[in-house]
Chains A and B, each alone.
Chain A
């Protein structure tokens, strides 16, 4: 079924971002920005191309340098990895366009402040492309140790991006983020060591064939899962996420909440349902489900209490991560429910990436214009920045799960899975979480619609920033209107029984 492909396109999706990152670093801000934007577009074309080839000719493997596993490292292309790669490219391109405007000199701002933004812009591009390259390695690599290195590359660039602002709160968040995320990677690495000690292979596909239930497997899986949970910021280890995501510059918040979270979640799904199937005990899935449930309710309640928009969105991320983890208990059920749980969980993570990136971009635009993000002072924003507020409303629809949006499809499929597997309490939870999400989104929208306070000064938001956030939120809605395409891609070489969904996909 899997064939060796001759095309090097998959290698270039990894090489290109790293190469551009180095070039951006050497070229400085002006040329670096240009290189960055051009690279983003090339990467999108490249990944769409890969997607089409996987769609037409099925999954494939590529042995880097001609050394195939177990000695070398394989790149594997299947529905899931191509989908992740593609959405990272789409979200990444919108973020790049946004950052293009964000770090430019701002009219009406003091020279000193503009210098600060210029400096951030210089370092943003290399770090962003290292993170992007790391994510692509994560999605494509089929070697668990190579994936560890990818996780570290993503974390280090993400931490540096958090610290980009250089203020005390940014440095503090970055330091806290560092200790937690490094703890996560070390625990994951220990798990890798245990697996290697028992089976002597590192390739995901080979591991799948040799792994057996037993003490060492259980210890290894527990360690790897624990490490990835810390990195994904599932309750109760979520506390580092809100300050890190909220204190970063807006394009960085979008990268972290949209893409970095999706990366470690993807890996957990890949490990659990491809490599470790048959070794995982259902009770472990239930445990993750309970943690997810607490995250949904706790995160949403915290989001409601925030007075700053970016902090609210960061807590919303905590809640939405909870939704993603509902995939784990729901997949334990019967085969009819499994297709929905699998599709729903992954669909939800993709739509969240689009919607949350869009929401953070709008939050950044508002901060750009007003110089703050206090929700109670948002009066009149809908009149002054109609495009931004419209984009926020569209992204909010997806976060709440209103039809027709990507978030709706994801939640609907999870609901269906909950009903089909007879775990109705999760269905109740999904609905309750959506209502809470509606409360915090409408709270913001309501204030923006009120009449403006007279005499408030605001900077003009560059059109580039407004349009890229709008495009991003359109994608979040488009995911609801054209759900067939991503779901069809996800079906390719899917480890989970998908037949049951034929009627739904059509």
Chain B
């Protein structure tokens, strides 16, 4: 098994772990982290792709994609954290379930 394939498969596994976290955890912060783990999996997969040339020269395009992807991921994380902080300040809760179970949430 070549290193590139090993890295690709690891990337896919990391993505799946993140997806599982996004689905099963209820705490907002855990969900945010899970999304970031998913992103990391994809980035790893893309970096492994850069090894596709037979002459040993790395392909720069996947690198460019990962760099852009990181910028998007950072802004996304900042944005969702701001939203979650606002929600916590307004309701005192950190998950959809808790907000809905709250009697204030019942009116929503």
Contact = CB atoms under 8 A, between A and B. Distances in A.
Interface of A: 145, 149, 152, 156, 159-160, 163, 166, 168-169, 171-172, 174-176, 178-179, 182-183, 186, 189-190, 192-193, 196-197, 200, 202
Contacts of A145: 65, 68
Contacts of A152: 72, 76
B48 to A, nearest CB: 8
Q: Which of A145, A160, A186, A202 has the most CB of B within 10 A?
A: A186
A189 B42 contact: yes
27 contacts: A145-B65, A149-B72, A156-B75, A156-B76, A156-B79, A159-B79, A159-B83, A168-B108, A169-B108, A171-B87, A179-B80, A182-B35, A182-B76, A182-B80, A183-B19, A183-B38, A189-B69, A190-B15, A192-B65, A193-B45, A193-B49, A193-B65, A196-B46, A196-B62, A196-B65, A200-B59, A202-B61
B27 interface: no
Nearest to A146: B68
Interface of B: 8, 15, 19, 22, 28, 31, 35, 38-39, 42, 45-46, 49, 52, 59, 61-62, 65, 68-69, 72, 75-76, 79-80, 83-84, 86-87, 90-91, 96, 99, 104-105, 108
Given A171-B87, A197-B8, A176 B96 contact: yes
**Secondary structure dominating the interface of A:** helix
B51 to A, nearest CB: 10
A297 B52 CA distance: 48
A196 B87 contact: no
Identify the 4 closest CB pairs spanning chains A and B, nearest first. Answer: A169-B108, A171-B87, A168-B90, A197-B49
B83 A171 contact: yes
A202 B61 CA distance: 10
Contact of A186 (B31, B42, B91): B42
Contacts of B59: 200
Contact of A175 (B68, B76, B80, B104): B80
Contacts of A197: 8, 45, 49, 52
Contacts of A176: 96
Given A152-B76, A183-B35, A196-B49, A178 B42 contact: no
A502 to B, nearest CB: 43
A216 to B, nearest CB: 11
Contacts of B46: 193, 196
Nearest to B89: A171
B42 A179 contact: no
Contacts of B28: 175
A200 B53 CA distance: 10
Contacts of A169: 108
Q: Which of A160, A168, A193, A196 has the most CB of B within 10 A?
A: A193
Contacts of B76: 152, 156, 178, 182
B31 A171 contact: no
A195 B79 CA distance: 29
Given A169-B108, A175-B28, A189-B42, 11 more contacts: A168-B91, A171-B87, A171-B90, A172-B99, A182-B80, A183-B22, A190-B45, A193-B45, A197-B49, A200-B52, A200-B59
B87 A178 contact: no
Contacts of B83: 159, 163, 171, 174-175, 178
A175 B96 CA distance: 9
Nearest to A145: B65
B96 to A, nearest CB: 7
Contacts of B42: 186, 189-190, 193
Contacts of B108: 168-169, 172
Nearest to A192: B65
